[in-house]
C-alpha cells in the first residue's frame, strides 16, 4: 500500500519508474540473440577413426572398444553410442547440458590422446569434432557449371569454398556430396604382371621410391647463394607411366607395360543429385550448440562473396536451409502478439466503454513486455519460439492486475468519491490480492526453473519470461495504474444509450449470478456432485489423451530414406534413387529434390523433398507424406519411406520410434532376437517401415591363408594381404602435387578384371627364392556374410529398432506397446533403452509429472504465507482441477495431444486460474471483518468481483485465440498451448464462480475485527 500511495501522490515518480523499465528493456532487446528454441542442444563430441582394410569385427574389438573403455570415466557423460563399420569407427559421446562443450571436447581429446598407443599402428589418427558422427546438415548447397567437369568443380569446392564456409562461427564441418576428387589412378593388369614376373608390391615400391620431394639445401658462394631444388617428384600421368619397375634382359620395364595411368577421380561410391541431375553438393553441419539462424545469416553474406569470385560458368546455390522454417515461425509468433493485443484492446473497451479507462490497463502491456526483455537479457535467454509464446500469453495476462485495480477504483468513484481518494481507498483494498496473484503466478514456475535436461531448459525460458512479465505488470499495477486512475478517471453523469444498455446488461448478469450463487451455496450436495463429476471426467480425459513428445510440425520438407539389399552396387542404388525421384515428380507442391545416393553406405540413400511455402499450397506436409508412404513402399526390392522432421532440434532424418535392444549375447543372437521382435511388432497397426540397424547379411569373401604353405615357400602373410588389398580395394601408395595441392596416387586392378571371386586367382606373389607363386596356391576362398555395422549403446552390444508412426497413433502408445512386447519376448540378459525422439519423450514424461506436483505445492505454500492460513489456500486450489478438466476437454475436442507444449500450458493454467479464487477469498475475508457472515461475505465478494473476473478471463482467452487458431510455420505447436488456455480458462472460470464460494462457506474460518477479537479474549 505504501508504494501505491507514494505513486498516487507523486505521479512524476510513478511515470519515471515505468519509463526506466521501458528504456532498460529496449536496450536489452537489441542485445538478445534470436533462435528457434532455447539453447537445448546437449554438448556432443564425435570420434572418428579410419582403419583401411579392417572389417567391422576388427574395428569393434581393436578400435571402438579400446576408445570407449578409456573415455567412459569422464564426468558428465549422458550416453555413448558407436558404429563399427567397414574401415571406420564412429563414436558419439553426448554430455549433460550443464557441461561446457569446449571442456567436453578437451576431455575427450585428452583421453583419446592417451589411448593412441593401444590402437593399431595402421589406423589413422582419431578425428574429434564437436558434433554427432552422423549429424544431419542444416543447410545444403550446390555448385553447378556449364563449363567445368565434376572433378574441376569438386577441386574448386575443396580448395576455395569448404575452408571459407568452415570459418563461419558455429560451423562444425562442411561435407562434400558426390565429390569427384582428383586422383592419379594406376590401373594394373594382373595378366601382364604375371607375364613380366612383377608383383603388386614391386609396382608400389617403384612408384614410392621414384616420387620423392626432399629439400636440396643451398649452394653458397662468396657473394651469392642459391637454393637447390631436386625435382624428383612426379606430377603427370606420363611421368607415372614411365616409372621404371625393373630391368629385364636389358629392357627397362615400366608401369605402362603392366597397366595404364590416368588422372582420374576417387571411386564413385556415392552420388549427389539435384532435381534428377548429378551435381556436386555440400552439407553444412553445425556444432551441437550453435545457432542455425546466426549461421544462415552469415552464410548468406559469404555466398554473395563466393558468387562474385566464382569462375565463369559456375554457380553457387543454397538449395535447402532449415532456418527458413525458424524465421517464418518466429515471424508468425510476432503476428500472434499483435493480434492478441488488438483482441485484448477490443474486449477491454467493450467492458469499460470508455477510451480513457481503456488506455489505463493497455499501458501495462508495453511496459510489462519490454520490461521482460531486461529480465531475459540478465539471465542469458534468447528471443525464441518459446519466449515469444510467453509474450503472447502475457498480453492477456499482464492486463489482469491493472483491470482489477481499475475496476475497484472506478467502483469507488461511481459511489461518489473523488478520483484521488478513490485511488487511495481502492488500493488499500486491492494491494494484497494484487501481490498475492503476482507472487502466485511467479511461484508456479519455481519448480519449472529447477527442472533439468532439455525439457527443463525448454520450460525454464518460457516460464521465467512469462513470470518476469507478470512481476513487472504487478509492479505497474501497484504504481502507474493507480496514479493514472487518479488522474484520468471521472464519474460519468451523462451516459450514452450504448453505455446505459451495457450497464443494464451487466447489472442483469450481476443480479442473475447473485441469485444463482445464493441458491447454489445453500446445499453442498449439488456442488460436491459437480466437483466429483469434473474430477472423474478429468481423470478419464487424462488417461485417454494420446501422448507424444511434441506435435509434428509442417516444416515444408520431407526426408526420404531408402535401403537396398545388402551388397547392392552403386549402380543398383542409383536406380533406386531414380525411382524415388520419379515418385516425387507426382507431387505438385514440390520445389526441389536433393538425393544423396550411397549414404551412409552404398545400398542406402537419403533424399530431401522441398515443398512450397505454407501459404502457397493447400495440403500440409503430413498429408503429402501420407500420400508418399504407400508409393515409396511399393518400390521393388527396396525399403523406402518418408520421414517428417521432428521438432526440438532432433535429427531430421531419423524416424520417431527408436527402441534400443541391449545385450551381452553375441551379435548373431542379437540379430535373431531383433528380427523376431521386428516380425512381431511389424504386425501392429501403429507402426510402419520397422527396421533394425543391425544388418549381418552383407556378402563377403573370406580369404584364408595357408600359413604353413606360405612359410615353406618364403611368402609372408603381409605380402598376400597387400596384394589383395591393393588390387581389389585400391591402395594409396604415395602423393602427387598439382597446383600446390596434394592428391592421392592409388594403385588398383582394372574394374573389368575384378568382377567375380575367381579374379583373385589371377594374382601372383614372389617367393623367397624369387619365383612367382599363384595366389590360388596359398589361399582358400569362401563366400559368407558380414555385418554392415556393429553398434554399441552405452558400451553394450545393441540393435536399434526404428519405425514410423501410422496416422492416428502417437509416440507414447507405440513405446508402451514395444515395452510390453519386449517384456514378453526378451530373456534376462537383454535390456531396453531409447534413442532420439523416443528417449526425449520418456525422459520428459517423468520429469513433467513431478514439476506439475511441485508447482501446486509451491502455490499452496506461497498462498498460505500470504493469507496466514492453511485453509484459505485450499479453497483457492479448488480452481485447479476445474480448469484442468476444461483444458483436457479442449485438447480432446480439437484432436490435440498431451505433449511438451500442452503440458507447459497446463502448468501455466495453474497460476492463471488461481487468480480468480484469490480475488474472491481475499475480498470475502475483508467483508467478514465488516460483520457479514461467511455466506453473506462470499456472495457479496463474488458478485462484486464478477466483472473483473469476466474481464480478465475474456482478455486471457481472446489473447490466446491467435495461438489456438494459428496457421503457417510452427502452428501445430502453438495450437497446443492456445487450446489449453482457452478451454481451461472458460471451463474453469464458469465453475470457479460457483464452486469456490461454496468451498468458502464450508471450509473458511470465521474472521473477526481486531477489536472484536480482543473483546472476546478479554
1015 confidence band (pLDDT: 50, 70, 90): very low
3-class DSSP assignment, residue 810: coil
23 confidence band (pLDDT: 50, 70, 90): very high
**What pTM value is reported for the model?**
0.79
Span 472-481, average pLDDT:
85
**C-alpha gyration radius of the chain:** 37
Residue 130 has pLDDT above 80, yes or no: no
Degrees (nearest 5) of the Cα angle 472, 475, 478?
Answer: 150
Q: Which CATH superfamily is domain 1-31+354-490 in?
A: Multidrug efflux transporter AcrB transmembrane domain (1.20.1640.10)
Please list the residues that pair with 306 across neighbouring strands: none
Residue 727 has pLDDT above 80, yes or no: no
398-416 pLDDT tens trace: 777 787 787 778 777 777 7
Please list the residues that pair with 285 across neighbouring strands: 173
Task: Provide the pLDDT for residue 238.
Answer: 92
Residue scoring higher pLDDT (960 or 458):
960
498-541 pLDDT tens trace: 767 777 787 788 888 888 888 877 877 887 888 888 888 888 88
Nine-digit cell string for 436: 498475492
Phi-psi label, residue 795: left if phi above 0, alpha if psi -120 to 50, beta otherwise: left
Distance CA 801, CA 829 (A): 18
Phi-psi label, residue 794: left if phi above 0, alpha if psi -120 to 50, beta otherwise: left
Nine-digit cell string for 338: 499483435
Percent share of the chain, pLDDT over 90: 7
296-335 pLDDT tens trace: 989 999 998 898 889 988 889 898 888 888 888 888 888 8
Distance CA 179, CA 158 (A): 9
Q: Which residue, 405, 455, 464, is CA-closest to 840?
A: 455
Among the residue ranges 282-291, 430-439, 570-579, 951-960, the one predicted with the least confidence is 430-439
End-to-end C-alpha distance for the chain, whole angstroms: 31
Task: Write out the H or E segment, with its range, that includes residue 481.
Answer: helix 480-488
Span 865-870, average pLDDT:
79
239-288 pLDDT tens trace: 999 999 988 777 889 989 988 999 988 878 888 888 888 889 998 988 76
Are 245 and 198 a contacting pair, CB within 8 Å? yes
Are 796 and 664 a contacting pair, CB within 8 Å? yes
Distance CA 693, CA 561 (A): 13
Span 690-694, average pLDDT:
86
Please list the residues that pair with 254 across neighbouring strands: 244
Phi-psi label, residue 51: left if phi above 0, alpha if psi -120 to 50, beta otherwise: beta
Nine-digit cell string for 1010: 481486531
Nine-digit cell string for 700: 563377403
Residue 1018 has pLDDT above 50, yes or no: no
876-935 pLDDT tens trace: 887 888 888 889 999 988 888 888 888 888 888 887 788 788 878 888 888 888 878 888
Residue 209 has pLDDT above 80, yes or no: yes
Longest dimension (CA), the chain: 134
Distance CA 129, CA 573 (A): 30
493 confidence band (pLDDT: 50, 70, 90): low
Q: What ranges in 60-100 are assigned the alpha helix state H?
A: 65-71
What are the extents of the domains in the chain? 1-31+354-490, 199-217+225-257+698-786, 502-544+869-1017, 556-644
Please list the residues that pair with 85 across neighbouring strands: 88, 789
213 confidence band (pLDDT: 50, 70, 90): confident
Among the residue ranges 11-20, 330-339, 346-355, 702-711, the one predicted with the least confidence is 346-355
Task: Provide the pLDDT for residue 847.
Answer: 65
Query: Is-same-fold flag (1-31+354-490; 502-544+869-1017)?
Result: yes
Which DSSP symbol is given to 990? Answer: H
Are 720 and 765 a contacting pair, CB within 8 Å? yes
Among the residue ranges 90-94, 459-463, 580-584, 1014-1018, the one predicted with the least confidence is 1014-1018
Distance CA 147, CA 59 (A): 43
**What angle, rounded to 10 degrees, do the helices at 497-520 and 971-1003 form?**
60
* Contacts with 440 (C-beta within 8 Å, 6 or more apart), sequence order: 859, 862, 863, 911, 914, 915, 918
Mean pLDDT of the chain: 83
Distance CA 121, CA 934 (A): 87
Q: Which residue, 5, 991, 922, is CA-closest to 436?
A: 922
Task: Provide the pLDDT for residue 1009.
Answer: 59
For the domain made up of 199-217+225-257+698-786, give the CATH fold.
3.30.2090
Residue 1012 has pLDDT above 70, yes or no: no
**302 CB-contact burial (10 Å; exposed 0-12 / middle 13-18 / buried 19+):** middle
Are 965 and 890 a contacting pair, CB within 8 Å? no
Q: Which residue, 79, 24, 138, is CA-closest to 792?
A: 79
Task: Provide the pLDDT for residue 491.
Answer: 67
Nine-digit cell string for 821: 512386447
358-369 pLDDT tens trace: 888 888 888 888
Span 672-694, average pLDDT:
88
Nine-digit cell string for 171: 560451423
Please tell me the number of Cα atoms within 13 Å of 964 on its side-chain side: 22
Among the residue ranges 16-20, 345-349, 577-581, 687-691, the one predicted with the least confidence is 345-349
Span 550-571, average pLDDT:
86
Please check whether the domain covering 502-544+869-1017 is classified as CATH 3.40.50.1110.
Answer: no
The 3-state secondary structure of 708-749 reads HHHHHCCCCHHHHHHHHHHHHHCEEEEEEEECCEEEEEEEEE
Task: Provide the pLDDT for residue 1.
Answer: 52
Q: Which residue, 404, 393, 401, is CA-closest to 438?
A: 401
For the domain made up of 556-644, give the CATH fold.
Alpha-Beta Plaits (3.30.70)
Amino acid at each position: 500500500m505504501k508504494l501505491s500511495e507514494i505513486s498516487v501522490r507523486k505521479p512524476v515518480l510513478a511515470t519515471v519508474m515505468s519509463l526506466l523499465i521501458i528504456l532498460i528493456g529496449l536496450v536489452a532487446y537489441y542485445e538478445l540473440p534470436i533462435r528457434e528454441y532455447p539453447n537445448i542442444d546437449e554438448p556432443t563430441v564425435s570420434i572418428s577413426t579410419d582403419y583401411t582394410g579392417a572389417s567391422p569385427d576388427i574395428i569393434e574389438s581393436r578400435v571402438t572398444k579400446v576408445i570407449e573403455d578409456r573415455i567412459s570415466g569422464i564426468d558428465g557423460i549422458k550416453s555413448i553410442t558407436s558404429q563399427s563399420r567397414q574401415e571406420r569407427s564412429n563414436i558419439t559421446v553426448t554430455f549433460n547440458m550443464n557441461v561446457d562443450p569446449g571442456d567436453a571436447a578437451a576431455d575427450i581429446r585428452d583421453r583419446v590422446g592417451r589411448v593412441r598407443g593401444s590402437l593399431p599402428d595402421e589406423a589413422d589418427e582419431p578425428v574429434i569434432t564437436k558434433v554427432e558422427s552422423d549429424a544431419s546438415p542444416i543447410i545444403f548447397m550446390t555448385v553447378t557449371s556449364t563449363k567445368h567437369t565434376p572433378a574441376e568443380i569438386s577441386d574448386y569446392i575443396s580448395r576455395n569454398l569448404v575452408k571459407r564456409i568452415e570459418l563461419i562461427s558455429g560451423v562444425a564441418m562442411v561435407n562434400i556430396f558426390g565429390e569427384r576428387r582428383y586422383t592419379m589412378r594406376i590401373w594394373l593388369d594382373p595378366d601382364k604382371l604375371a607375364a613380366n614376373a612383377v608383383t603388386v608390391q614391386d609396382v608400389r615400391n617403384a612408384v614410392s621410391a621414384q616420387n620423392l620431394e626432399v629439400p636440396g639445401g643451398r649452394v653458397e658462394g662468396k657473394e651469392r647463394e642459391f637454393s637447390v631444388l631436386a625435382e624428383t617428384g612426379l606430377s603427370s600421368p606420363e611421368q607415372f607411366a614411365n616409372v621404371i619397375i625393373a630391368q629385364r634382359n636389358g629392357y627397362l620395364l615400366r608401369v605402362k607395360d603392366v597397366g595404364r595411368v590416368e588422372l582420374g577421380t576417387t571411386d564413385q561410391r556415392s552420388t549427389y543429385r539435384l532435381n534428377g541431375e548429378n551435381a556436386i553438393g555440400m552439407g553444412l553441419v553445425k556444432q551441437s550448440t550453435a545457432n542455425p539462424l546466426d549461421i544462415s545469416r552469415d552464410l548468406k553474406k559469404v555466398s554473395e562473396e563466393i558468387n562474385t569470385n566464382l569462375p565463369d560458368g559456375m554457380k553457387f546455390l543454397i538449395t535447402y536451409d532449415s532456418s527458413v522454417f525458424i524465421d517464418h515461425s518466429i515471424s508468425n509468433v510476432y503476428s500472434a502478439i499483435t493480434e492478441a493485443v488488438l483482441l485484448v484492446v477490443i474486449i477491454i473497451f467493450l467492458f469499460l466503454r470508455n477510451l480513457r479507462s481503456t488506455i489505463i490497463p493497455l499501458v501495462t502491456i508495453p511496459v510489462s513486455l519490454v520490461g521482460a526483455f531486461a529480465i531475459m537479457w540478465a539471465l542469458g535467454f534468447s528471443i525464441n519460439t518459446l519466449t515469444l509464446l510467453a509474450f503472447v500469453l502475457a498480453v492477456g495476462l499482464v492486463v489482469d492486475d491493472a483491470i482489477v485495480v481499475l475496476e475497484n477504483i472506478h467502483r469507488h468513484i461511481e459511489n461518489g468519491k473523488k478520483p484521488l481518494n478513490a485511488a487511495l481507498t481502492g488500493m488499500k483494498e486491492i494491494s494484497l490480492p494484487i501481490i498475492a496473484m503476482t507472487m502466485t503466478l511467479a511461484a508456479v514456475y519455481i519448480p519449472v526453473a529447477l527442472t533439468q535436461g532439455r525439457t527443463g531448459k525448454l520450460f525454464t525460458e518460457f516460464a521465467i519470461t512469462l513470470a518476469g512479465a507478470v512481476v513487472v505488470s504487478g509492479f505497474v499495477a501497484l504504481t502507474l495504474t493507480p496514479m493514472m486512475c487518479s488522474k484520468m478517471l471521472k464519474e460519468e453523469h451523462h451516459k450514452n444509450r450504448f453505455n446505459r444498455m451495457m450497464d443494464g446488461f451487466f447489472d442483469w448478469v450481476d443480479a442473475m449470478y447473485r441469485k444463482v450463487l445464493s441458491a447454489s451455496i445453500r446445499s453442498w450436495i449439488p456442488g460436491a456432485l459437480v466437483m466429483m463429476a469434473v474430477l472423474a471426467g478429468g481423470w478419464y480425459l487424462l488417461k485417454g489423451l494420446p501422448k507424444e513428445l511434441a506435435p509434428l510440425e509442417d516444416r515444408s520438407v520431407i526426408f526420404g530414406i531408402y535401403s537396398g539389399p545388402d551388397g547392392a552396387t552403386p549402380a543398383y542404388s542409383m536406380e533406386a534413387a531414380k525411382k524415388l525421384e520419379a515418385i516425387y515428380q507426382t507431387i505438385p507442391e514440390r520445389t526441389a529434390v536433393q538425393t544423396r545416393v550411397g549414404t551412409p553406405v552404398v545400398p542406402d540413400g537419403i533424399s530431401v523433398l522441398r515443398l512450397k511455402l505454407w501459404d502457397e499450397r493447400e495440403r500440409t506436409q503430413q498429408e503429402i507424406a501420407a500420400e508418399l508412404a504407400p508409393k515409396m513402399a511399393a518400390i521393388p526390392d527396396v525399403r523406402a519411406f518418408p520421414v517428417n522432421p521432428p521438432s526440438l532440434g532432433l535429427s531430421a532424418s531419423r524416424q520417431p520410434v527408436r527402441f534400443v535392444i541391449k545385450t551381452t549375447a553375441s551379435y548373431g543372437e542379437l540379430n535373431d532376437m531383433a528380427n523376431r521382435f521386428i516380425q512381431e511388432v511389424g504386425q501392429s497397426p501403429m507402426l510402419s517401415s520397422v527396421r533394425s540397424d543391425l544388418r549381418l547379411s552383407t556378402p563377403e569373401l573370406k580369404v584364408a591363408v595357408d600359413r604353413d604353405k606360405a612359410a615353406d615357400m618364403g611368402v609372408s602373410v603381409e605380402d598376400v594381404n597387400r596384394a589383395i588389398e591393393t588390387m581389389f580395394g585400391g591402395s594409396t601408395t604415395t602423393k602427387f602435387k598439382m597446383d600446390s595441392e596434394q592428391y592421392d596416387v592409388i594403385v588398383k586392378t582394372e574394374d573389368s578384371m575384378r568382377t567375380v571371386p575367381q579374379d583373385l586367382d589371377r594374382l601372383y606373389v614372389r617367393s623367397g627364392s624369387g619365383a612367382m607363386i599363384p595366389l590360388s596356391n596359398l589361399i582358400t576362398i569362401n563366400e559368407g556374410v558380414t555385418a554392415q555395422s556393429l553398434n554399441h549403446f552405452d558400451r553394450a552390444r545393441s540393435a536399434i529398432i526404428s519405425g514410423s508412426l501410422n496416422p492416428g497413433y502417437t509416440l507414447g502408445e507405440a513405446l508402451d506397446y514395444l515395452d510390453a512386447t519386449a517384456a514378453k519376448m526378451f530373456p534376462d540378459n537383454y535390456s531396453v533403452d531409447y534413442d532420439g525422439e523416443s528417449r526425449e519423450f520418456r525422459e520428459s514424461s517423468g520429469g513433467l509429472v513431478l514439476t506439475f506436483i511441485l508447482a501446486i505445492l509451491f502455490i499452496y505454500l506461497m498462498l498460505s504465507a500470504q493469507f496466514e492460513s492453511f485453509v484459505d489456500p485450499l479453497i483457492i486450489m479448488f480452481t485447479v482441477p476445474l480448469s484442468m478438466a476444461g483444458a483436457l476437454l479442449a485438447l480432446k475436442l480439437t484432436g490435440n495431444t498431451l505433449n511438451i507444449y500442452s503440458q507447459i500450458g497446463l502448468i501455466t493454467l495453474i497460476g492463471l486460474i488461481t487468480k480468480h479464487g484469490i480475488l474472491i477469498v481475499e475480498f470475502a475475508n475483508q467483508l467478514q471483518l465488516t460483520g457479514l457472515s461467511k455466506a453473506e461475505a462470499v456472495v457479496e465478494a463474488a458478485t462484486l468481483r464478477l466483472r473483473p473476473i469476466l474481464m480478465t478471463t475474456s482478455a486471457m482467452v481472446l489473447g490466446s485465440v491467435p495461438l489456438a487458431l494459428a496457421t503457417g510455420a510452427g502452428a501445430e505447436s502453438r495450437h497446443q498451448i492456445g487450446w489449453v488456455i482457452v478451454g481451461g480458462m472458460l471451463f474453469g472460470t464458469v465453475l470457479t464462480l460457483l464452486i469456490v464460494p461454496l468451498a468458502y462457506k464450508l471450509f473458511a474460518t470465521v474472521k473477526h475485527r481486531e477489536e472484536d477479537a480482543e473483546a472476546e479474549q478479554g
